[in-house]
Amino acid sequence: YDALKIGEPGSGGEYTDQDGFGWTNGFALELLEKYGQVIQWDQSIPVVVSNKVKKQTQLTNLSRLRCLTFL
């Protein structure tokens, strides 16, 4: 799913485009695009995250770039 071109398939990733692959991200982005200005939350919900990784893996350059994008 291409987040910059709503409704278009993504490209340049680690996998070839597949029908149904990434649809949840696309749905969430379209939902926020359409209703983001009117959605409201009354309170924050605390989120607890624990590290479940048993073995550290080597990041590919693409994965490293994606991680840096969200930091």
For the residues 9-13, what does the mean pLDDT come to? Answer: 72
Give the integer Cα–Cα distance in Å for 3 and 24: 12
For the residues 44-71, what does the mean pLDDT come to? Answer: 65
Q: pLDDT band at 12, cuts 50/70/90?
A: confident
Are 7 and 34 spatial neighbours (Cβ–Cβ below 8 Å)? no
Structure-token match 């989120």, residue found: 47
Q: Three-state SS across 8-61?
A: CCCCCCCCCCCCCCCHHHHHHHHHHHHHCCCCCCCCCCCCCCCCCCCCCCCCCH
Q: pLDDT band at 50, cuts 50/70/90?
A: confident
Q: pLDDT band at 39, cuts 50/70/90?
A: confident
pLDDT at 20 over 60: yes
Are 23 and 51 spatial neighbours (Cβ–Cβ below 8 Å)? no
